[in-house]
Structure 1
Amino acid sequence: MEYKDYYKVMGVARDATQQEIKLAYRKLGRKYHPDVSKEPDAEAQFKMIGEAYEVLKDPEKRVAYDQLGKEWKNGQDFRPPPEWDSGFEFRGNGYAASDAGAYSDFFEELFGRQFGHGSRTGGSRSSRVRGEDHHAKVLITLEDSFNGAMRPVSLRMPTQTDDGHVTTRDRTLNIRIPKGIRAGQQIRLARQGGPGLGGAEPGDLYLEVAFNKHPLYRIDGGDIYLDLPVAPWEAALGAKIAVPVPSGNIELTIPANSRQGQKLRLKGRGLAGKKSGDLYVVLQVTLPPADSQEARDLYKQMEAQLGFNPRATMGRT
């Protein structure tokens, strides 16, 4: 996927005001409009200008786009960092299905799901209009979900200053993380969204949960996976070994003649829920290094005495 430098497309500086971006769009729109332009690539240029303007005209998308950094160049192979959009607070509910396919893969990867257009019903100043709902993605730890937790989260709300530049307004909220919550599920904070009009109540804030990368565990829905290194003799002969699980250490029986990649299921030891997840211990047979003469002699002794050929079933030696 190619990186799109929307500032270069629009011909503006990265610190351009919203008004400067608007003026640049109008100028380029007249130049490349397919109905009037004689440029050979007018249609493609017009489409890309529209995509760039869709991002840069909106303070929310612009701040998120700028988060990716200035080191990327137009056309470079690009993949967004994992959970790059966490902590941003946005209005609206995302794009309608009719928007799908209207923009490049780069745009869709960054903005096609969670970034939406805020909308407010019109009316006089005396009208009572409930505030908009806001949305944000937050990163939590496995332990937060496994045990339940109360902890602060910091959010950044993109906004436009009086002089037309874009900045962020930060706020910190203390939230309760329900025990067993899973990636993709939401925490609703009532009355923490946009302000209402005419004395109406504020909207709500919806926090979509994602997990920080854990040094030991992988999470898939409600299931937890642990890669467990075992010595060859533990896998071959069987063993009882201490294994770290989210609730503490347990003694796990490794069956004799266990194989590389074999999964041992601990039922109900995953994330809590109406149907609790499981914990899967994935065996990783780890060979001792042959980094001494004694170790090399042992390996040669095994080769001579066991006569083991791991490729015997392949029909060749």
Structure 2
Amino acid sequence: MEFKDYYKVLGVERGASEDEIKKAFRKLARKHHPDVNKAADAAARMQDLNEAYDVLRDPEKRAAYDRVGQGMRGGQEFRPPPDWDAGFEFSGAPEGAGFGDHSDFFETLFGAARRARGHAAAGGRSTRGEDHHAKIVIPLEDAFHGATRGLSLRAPELDASGHVVLRERELQVKIPKGIRAGQQIRLSGQGSAGPRGEPAGDLYLEVEFEPHPRFRVDGRDLYVTLRVAPWEAALGASVPLRTPDGELQMSVPPGAQGGRKLRL
């Protein structure tokens, strides 16, 4: 999972005041709201802004985020340490919610913490079961189109005598279209059973891609080597290019040199 730098999302310094954070959010929200901005990534950008504002405007969440994010930079591989949120109380939902689901990063930090505290508040000493983490390796095409895959998993469970045993489980996992390597898929209630009949924890599957014979993945981008004849590079041409979504025509400009990158 990638660390999200919420300060960078809002374009403010780590020591920014509450008023500075509010002004930055409102300015960027006016610019990127999907009703105004028709760019394809406007909704995703708005989701990031809402998450960042929800965390940084709340003193408890901001303090917890600052603690767990010490020394981290946006995009770095990240996994929160156990009990990172001890001593904090989180509540509420992101302001302006409705621009897509929360990111895996937000859910891992504040979604699970909110759910656990909700159970505790409702039942006194209520405790959710433990969350489990695993990796799932998928073909690139599954991430491009979306898919449902069967998964065999050996997971610890308590038997009738209270001993921990490993049992094989078969799960159906829905791969969302557009998921990236390092992101997580959450399977609600597929973690350890809760004590005394309390709700089970969740299972988080971190996505990895199988090596692909044609494409190289870098974040949201795909790279492929396009082979053209010398005269096509010299004079320019329209050449076929196979993509995960089918064959397209790629325009090669006159005078193209080897190693030049063309964007589609």
TM-score (norm 2): 0.48
TM (norm. structure 1) is 0.41
Which protein has the bigger helix share?
2
Task: Tell which structure's C-alpha radius of gyration is larger.
Answer: 1
